[in-house]
Amino acid sequence: MTAKPLFLLTDPAHYEVSYVINPWMTPGEWAQNRARHSGAARQAFVALKRAIEAAGADVRVMEGVAGLPDLVFPANAAIVLDRRALVARFSCVERQGEESVFLQEFEQLQNEGIFTEVGTFPEGVFQEGAGDCIWDKTRGQFWAGFGQRSVRASLDVIKDFFRAPVVPLELISPRFYHLDVCFLPLTGGEIVYYPPAFSDAAQETIRALVPADYLIEASDADAAAFSVNAVNIGRTIIMARPPERLKRLLEARGYQVSGIDLAPFMMSGGGAYCMTLRLDRSRDDGTSSARPCRTAAEAS
């Protein structure tokens, strides 16, 4: 029997929308009714945690910190693979205070034996964690976004630290500022993606590496509903309430979709995936059998 998946979440006690670093953020709307939005955020957090647990995973919750509202998005904390973590460097000053908080949490995880090594990016090499660097178990590679928050120079650091293939994908839209809001590899090998978020070259890369019948295009509505920003555990996909079309499409492929009202977090430009970080991600736990892919070498 394999161990349960383990996800890190951050308690939303200090969550608010108080600045604008992406086009979805609405501090004015938040300020109009802080108590109501905070209450709704707590409910949404509890619903997400329950859905993750119901899908068979464990959840670890870290405390929030006043003045660092976006700590509730630990997907941006680090890239994790094989019990090693590479802690993020945030490009926006508003979030840079999170680095030391996350670093402390990861050192604690190392003390507890969950991680064997915790690394950091060189100064000035911005990279915003698993939000911009997603492990694809089916293909045995990272897909890494750059061009909005994370810089291209981060890709070599990732490759060297993990000794794993890293496929670069340039992001061209400020609305889709992290890879995880427009790109979602699923356990069956499918990739859900929102083409307009990517440069032409990135779209070609995706199409060269993923067979057409494994590519699922998200619509404008799907992307705007933060449905691509989902947590996939086995055959369960947990996401902000999805448009019906996407839900049916995923169900037709044998997934169960668990839609949650994450409106308070969408006011900050985040959905389900952003609110989590998978801590037990490993490259060879033997769960992928089908190989609906070409390797980078075969495709070129």
Q: Which residues are catalytic?
A: 178, 274
Shortest reach from residue 152's CB to ligand ARG, in Å? 18
CA distances 213 to 29, 101, 181, Å, are 41, 42, 21
Tokens 């890369």 belong to: 205
Helix (H) or strand (E) holding 117: strand 117-120
Shortest reach from residue 153's CB to ligand ARG, in Å? 20
Q: Indicate whether 98 belongs to the interface with ligand ARG (CB under 6 A).
A: no
Please name which of 256, 174, 190, 261 lies closest in space to residue 226, comparing C-alpha atoms: 261
Shortest reach from residue 94's CB to ligand ARG, in Å? 8
Q: Which string of b and e fits 63-89 if b means at least 16 CB within 10 Å?
A: ebbeebbbbbbbbbbbbbbbbbbbbbb
Q: In what order do the strands lie in the sheet with 78-81?
A: 78-81, 84-87, 117-120
Q: Indicate whether 148 belongs to the interface with ligand ARG (CB under 6 A).
A: no
Q: Indicate whether 76 belongs to the interface with ligand ARG (CB under 6 A).
A: yes
Q: Indicate whether 276 belongs to the interface with ligand ARG (CB under 6 A).
A: no
**Sign of the CA dihedral 16, 22, 28, 30?**
negative
Q: Indicate whether 268 belongs to the interface with ligand ARG (CB under 6 A).
A: yes
Q: Which stretch in 17-25, 37-45, 107-115, 119-127 sits in contact with ligand ARG by CB under 6 A? A: 17-25
Candidate residues 75, 186, 197, 293; the one interacting with ligand ARG per rule CB under 6 A: 75
Q: By rule CB under 6 A, what string of x and - marks binding of each residue 228-267 to ligand ARG?
A: ----------------------------------------
Q: By rule CB under 6 A, what string of x and - marks binding of each residue 22-61 to ligand ARG?
A: x--x------------------------------------
Count of beta carbons in the 10 Å neighbourhood of residue 198: 24
Q: Indicate whether 270 belongs to the interface with ligand ARG (CB under 6 A).
A: yes
Size of the site for ligand ARG (CB under 6 A): 16
Q: Closest CB to ligand ARG among 158 and 293? A: 158
Q: How far apart are CA 81 and CA 238, in angstroms?
A: 21
Shortest reach from residue 15's CB to ligand ARG, in Å? 10
Please name which of 99, 104, 59, 53 lies closest in space to residue 76, comparing C-alpha atoms: 99
Q: In what order do the strands lie in the sheet with 58-62?
A: 58-62, 6-10, 277-278
Shortest reach from residue 49's CB to ligand ARG, in Å? 17
Q: Indicate whether 150 belongs to the interface with ligand ARG (CB under 6 A).
A: no
Q: Please tell me whether residue 140 adopts helix, strand or coil conformation.
A: coil
Please name which of 64, 81, 73, 57 lies closest in space to residue 22, comparing C-alpha atoms: 73
Shortest reach from residue 142's CB to ligand ARG, in Å? 15
Question: Residue 62 pairs with which residues in a beta bridge?
Answer: 10
Q: Closest CB to ligand ARG among 21 and 293? A: 21
Q: Closest CB to ligand ARG among 48 and 293? A: 48
Q: Phi and psi at residue 62, in whole multiples of 5°?
A: -100, 155
> Which residues within the stretch 171-200 sit at the binding site for ligand ARG (CB under 6 A)?
178, 180-181
Q: Closest CB to ligand ARG among 263 and 296? A: 263
Q: Catalog residues that contact ligand ARG under the rule CB under 6 A.
A: 21-22, 25, 70, 73, 75-76, 95, 131, 178, 180-181, 268-270, 274
